[in-house]
């Protein structure tokens, strides 16, 4: 239904401005009653108040119509902030390509959520932490959660592969670097730990793998000392794993239904998960770029 952008609504029919009628001498000679003189200023004030109220309603309605666009403005704002932050270290061309790869990855989740009949927010970008989307749930069961989780790396890997094609056509190593970065990010997201995408897949395959993924983050943080990995990813992973395992161990009827996965669905999730890992490792090997300093 198309929203009416005119307020107040136009009256039925049309009104046309008519030229004033000639003055009536008899009417001009008639004295004006005092009561009418007293009411005339009040009527003028009431008309002014009414006009002001209508103008206020018009502005209020305009604000309501603009509310759906505020989320788009917020998402665009986070893109610009992240673009500026990444450009400081990597330059504008690589920063723009990097954000595009993140956007493609997150849109994989958005598309999968919509296929599950769920609404998702626009991607919100956080400098040096990637991007996130918000949704009330990831599906009605662990199989749906796995589909939503793996959709991001699937579409993200396609985006990185597109960079490989551009690299071969143009010979510009910028696209090679973007392809390698895309393959690495999607592979990292397949670590079997909540809240990464690999942890979503493990909900349908083997939830106990969450602890293995959490343990794998510890040496990763030691080999590549990074405050983001140490303080945020490990912290979120530890809290997320504890919360999910505690809920699953409660063995309530709702949790039993959620984690009841058919063997065929589990096999499909495992096939996609392992195939993605293999293809991403091959992609990283093919696009490895040795940095030289002159």
Distance (Å, rounded) from C-alpha 66 to C-alpha 236? 35
pLDDT at res. 19: 43
pLDDT at 58: 45
**Which of 11-20, 32-41, 92-101, 284-293 is least confident?**
11-20
Q: Return the higher-pLDDT residue of 178 and 253.
A: 178
Question: Is residue 45 scored above 70 in pLDDT?
Answer: no
Provide the Cα torsion 223, 226, 228, 231; round to 10°.
70
Kindly report the pTM of this predicted structure: 0.71
Q: What is the mean pLDDT of the chain?
A: 77
- The pLDDT of residue 152 is 95
Give one DSSP letter per residue of 219-243, joined into a string. HHHHHS--HIIIIIIHHHHHHHHHH
Decide if pLDDT at 178 tops 70. Answer: yes
User: What are the pLDDT digits (tens) for 64-87?
Assistant: 344 444 555 566 788 888 889 899
H-only helix segments in the chain? 25-29, 34-90, 92-115, 142-170, 173-188, 197-205, 209-223, 227, 234-249, 253-258, 263-287
Q: Is the model's pLDDT at 256 over the cut of 70? A: yes
Q: Domain boundaries in the chain?
A: 70-287
Span 173-181, mean pLDDT? 96
Q: Higher pLDDT residue, 27 or 146?
A: 146
Higher pLDDT, 159 or 133: 159
pLDDT(217) > 90: no
Sorted by sequence, the CB contacts under 8 Å of residue 101 that are 6+ apart come out as 156, 159, 160, 163, 178, 181, 182, 185
Q: What is the pLDDT of residues 193-207, one digit of tens each?
A: 888 999 999 999 999
Residue 157 has pLDDT above 90, yes or no: yes
Return the pLDDT at 37.
45
């Amino acid at each position: 239904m198309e929203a009416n952008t005119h307020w107040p609504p136009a009256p039925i029919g049309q009104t046309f401005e008519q030229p004033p009628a000639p003055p009536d001498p008899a009417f001009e000679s008639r004295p004006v009653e005092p009561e009418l003189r007293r009411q005339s200023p009040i009527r003028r004030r009431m008309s002014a108040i009414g006009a002001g109220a209508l103008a206020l309603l018009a502005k209020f309605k305009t604000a309501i119509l603009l509310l759906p666009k505020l989320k788009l403005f917020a998402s665009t704002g986070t893109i610009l902030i992240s673009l500026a932050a990444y450009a400081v270290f990597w330059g504008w061309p690589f920063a723009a390509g990097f954000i595009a790869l993140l956007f493609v990855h997150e849109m994989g989740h958005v598309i999968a959520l919509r296929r599950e009949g769920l609404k998702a927010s626009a991607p919100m970008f956080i400098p040096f932490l990637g991007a996130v989307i918000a949704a009330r749930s990831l599906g009605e069961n662990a199989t749906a959660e796995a589909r939503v989780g793996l959709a991001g790396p699937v579409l993200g890997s396609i985006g990185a592969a597109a960079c490989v094609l551009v690299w071969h056509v143009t010979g510009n190593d910028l696209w090679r670097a973007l392809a390698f970065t895309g393959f690495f990010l999607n592979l990292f997201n397949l670590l079997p730990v909540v809240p990464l995408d690999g942890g979503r897949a493990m909900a349908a395959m083997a939830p106990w793998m969450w602890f293995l993924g959490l343990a794998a983050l510890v040496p990763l943080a030691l080999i590549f000392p990074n405050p983001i990995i140490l303080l945020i990813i490990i912290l979120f992973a530890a809290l997320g794993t504890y919360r999910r395992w505690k809920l699953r161990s409660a063995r309530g009827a709702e949790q039993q239904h959620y984690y009841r996965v058919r063997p065929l669905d589990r096999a499909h999730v495992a096939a996609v998960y392992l195939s993605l890992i293999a293809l991403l490792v091959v992609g990283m090997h093919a696009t490895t770029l040795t940095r030289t300093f002159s």
